[in-house]
Amino acid sequence: MRVAVALLFLAVVTFIRAGDESSWGRGFINEPAPGAPMSQISYPLSYVTCTVGHLVGQFDVENTTKSSKTIDGVKTSDGKFWVPVEAQITTGTTPREWNWKPIGKLAVPGEHSTLKADPLTPENARDIPSFHVHLDIFKPFIGKATYGRIVLANGDFSMFDLNDLATRPSNLPKGALVPTSTP
């Protein structure tokens, strides 16, 4: 009887965890937003993870210039490189309608460091440097604003569709859940 109860308990826990949508990950192919200005250095959002409800974005640094680029940030004890940014949103759908509204500044404590992005070549195309940014600040705007962007201290930015931060992309059935804040 104890074995049956233990198996039933294990099945229930497994079923509950299978329905848990507070942790997930999603990769992206670099596709600029319609009408977004093209830059010789771009910072596409390449991967989003949601761990127990907290969103973190990984942004690649694609340098198509002829010289190296250095970005200031911090390195945390886990070896990840983080960049301080300003978070902004817009409800516009075309460049003419983009009226960017700042929603906060994001920074992570850690040891000051720099990230070097060499010009992209066929030899280093698989070793594109990247940095991380906490994206929880955007959660209240998912489904309400169109795009989000992070602006680096040097004025460069990365723009992304806010629906890409949802638990389920907008092309899935209605009633899809979005990440919620955790205590």
pLDDT, one tens digit per residue, over 33-80 is 555 556 688 899 999 999 988 999 999 999 888 899 999 999 999 999
Residue 16, pLDDT > 60, answer: no
Write down the pLDDT at residue 176. 42
Higher pLDDT, 126 or 94: 94
Tokens representing residue 26 in the block: 């999603």
pLDDT recorded at residue 37: 57
Ranges of each domain in the chain? 22-165
Amino acid 36: pLDDT: 55
Distances in Å between the Cα of 132 and the Cα atoms of 47, 98, 120 are 10, 25, 20
Q: Name the average pLDDT for the chain.
A: 79
Looking at per-residue pLDDT, the higher value among 30 and 65 belongs to 65
What does CATH list as the number for 22-165? 2.60.40
Tell me the pTM: 0.76
Segment 155-175 mean pLDDT: 75
pLDDT: which is higher, 27 or 5: 27
Could you list the beta-strand ranges (E) of 38-172: 41-42, 45-51, 54-60, 62-63, 69-75, 81-82, 85-90, 101-106, 111-117, 130-134, 147-152, 157-161
Residue in 106, 166, 105 with CA at minimum distance from that of residue 133: 106
pLDDT tens figures, 114-152: 999 998 888 877 788 999 999 999 999 999 999 999 999
pLDDT bracket for residue 32 (50, 70, 90): low
The whole-number pLDDT of residue 168 equals: 61
**pLDDT value for 38:** 60
